[in-house]
Homo-oligomer: A and B are copies of this chain.
Amino acid sequence: MPDPAENAAVVDLLGLHSFIQLAAFTRFTKDAQHAPDLPGQVTLSRMAAGELAHLDQLERLVTDLGGDFYTSMGSYAALLGDFDQRTAPGSWWERLMRTYVAFGVLADLQRALSTRLDATTGAAVEATLADSGHGDFVVAALEPVIAAEPQLAARLALWGRRVGGEALGIAQHALAEHPLLLAHLDDDAAAGGGAAWVRNKLSTGHARRMDRLGLTA
């Protein structure tokens, strides 16, 4: 028999995953509507649809564990708060960057919390966290612009730092509001201080993403 307390912690994590997948879908579709050309709009729309496809799997997992899909997901409804308003992009480049940075941090959070799931659930969750190709899309779009325009590069570096800070704050807030999530950390992480270890891990991931663009975090 599965342990009910452990089940509750897994359902809580699946709620986080579901909410972030839906948020990514929504963000990608909004970005798609601002794309400067039709191929860009279609590509981002397809990535959005890909993020949403994972919800079916997550819903099945939650239901199998005896949880309620919308309750588990809804408990994260305030996760992003007024992030969108506080980070209104001033250009297409800033918009691409914002999504790349914020959903990059959130994906790292999702992965950091999903290493200790049992084999079946773990494999299913891993599939839902598969790379959508969004990062590669953004790097391909931004890299040449950043290399060619030092002034824009400096502005985007600053922007990336600001959005990165906001995203790290969202991740910390999620852990503070949902202490069950910390149960999914492995022993190394727990020894490293739990939430502090996660913050450090996410900062490293953020720096790596900025570095891919030729920018310093």
User: Nearest CB to that of A59 among chain B residues?
Assistant: B42
A26 contacts across to B, CB distance below 8 A: 29, 32-33, 45
A29's contact among B41, B42, B48, B74, by CB below 8 Å, is which? B48
A33 contacts across to B, CB distance below 8 A: 26
CA distance A46 to B74 in the complex (A): 17
Q: Which of A49-57, A129-137, A207-215 contacts B (4 or more CB under 8 A)?
A: A49-57
Encoded as 1 (CB less than 8 Å from any B CB) or 0, chain A from 66 to 78 comes to 0000100110010
A42 contacts across to B, CB distance below 8 A: 22, 55, 70
**CB atoms of B52 and A46 under 8 A apart:** yes
CB distance from A22 to the nearest CB of B (A): 7
Question: Is A119 positioned at the interface, with any CB of B under 8 Å from its CB?
Answer: no
**CB atoms of B53 and A49 under 8 A apart:** yes
Question: Is A2 positioned at the interface, with any CB of B under 8 Å from its CB?
Answer: no
A70's contact among B22, B38, B48, B55, by CB below 8 Å, is which? B38
**CB atoms of B48 and A55 under 8 A apart:** no
CA distance A26 to B25 in the complex (A): 12
User: Which A157-174 residues have a C-beta within 8 angstroms of B?
Assistant: none
A–B pairs, 11, beta carbons within 8 Å: A25-B29, A26-B32, A26-B33, A29-B29, A38-B77, A42-B55, A42-B70, A46-B52, A48-B49, A49-B52, A49-B53
